[in-house]
Amino acid sequence: MALLQKNISLVGTSIALETIVTPAIPNEYYPVSAIRSVNATYSPSLQPVGGVYPYPSMLKVDIYFHDVNMQRVSFDIQSIANQAGWTADLTGLTQAIDDINGWITTANSITPIGLATEVTLQSIATNTTGVARTPGIIRPNNTSGNLNTVAATFYSVSLGNVGAANGTVLGATIKPGEILNFSADAVNNFFNSFVYDATGTEFIIIYVA
């Protein structure tokens, strides 16, 4: 009697074995990262002692794992239904071994979701590398304007009202003696506008561009 037919394929980073039977039983999944080796056993005519082998020849694949407590996976390629190239001969067995090893190579090249690739890490390194910035200072007196006329983009701004009257910054009142600090915070974030009105008073504005 032939063995139960199975389908085998690479699913993501695991080798999946599906037994074709009714009622269906759960598929078996074996992560390729756990596989130590894939071996083949070939015998053109083998009848085990005390029993009858279900096929006229043995074309067996054994998958071994790094964890010695994991039982090896064994199957005869003649029981595989979905791999047309795995013919019932030595050529088919060789093809099976090549295909499985190819799946392992493919799966090992897949980067799991959430893990950074080398390109991503290089990009992060580039974005977090220190960059020289230019500080600047202006003292608007009895005037209004926008800091972006001095620096198109800037990363931090500090402003103090050093005059005797109220002024406005971003539409809000700043009283004499008050100091405001603004920072774009996250790496490479920046401002491109900072509106002030020092009419009737004097501001001192320090910025990093």
Range name among 23-37, 138-152, 194-208 with the lowest pLDDT average: 23-37
pLDDT above 90 (res 198): yes
Model confidence over 81-119: pLDDT tens digits?
999 999 998 899 999 999 999 999 888 886 555 555 555
Tell me the torsion sign for CA atoms 86, 89, 95, 101.
positive
Percent of the chain past pLDDT 70, that is, above it, reads 82
pTM of the model: 0.50
Q: In 10 A of CB 141, how many CB atoms?
A: 14
Q: How far is CA 68 from CA 34, 35, 40, 107, in A?
A: 10, 11, 19, 22
Nearest CA-CA partner of 139 in 159, 157, 155, 154: 159
Which residue type is seen at 38? Answer: V
Q: Which CATH number fits domain 6-108: 3.60.15.10, 1.20.1300.10, 3.90.1640.10, 2.30.29.30?
A: 2.30.29.30
- Token readout for 140 is 């608007």
Sorted by where each begins, the domain ranges of the chain are 6-108, 135-208
Q: How far is CA 181 from CA 3, 104, 149, in A?
A: 77, 56, 19
What number is the average pLDDT over the span 151-175? 92
Output DSSP code: residue 80. Answer: B
> What spatial distance separates the first Cα and last Cα of the chain, rounded to whole Å?
80
Q: Is 135-208 the same fold as 6-108?
A: no
Q: Which CATH number fits domain 135-208: 1.10.10.200, 2.60.120.1440, 2.60.120.10, 3.90.79.10?
A: 2.60.120.10
Contact 78, 64 (CB under 8 A): no
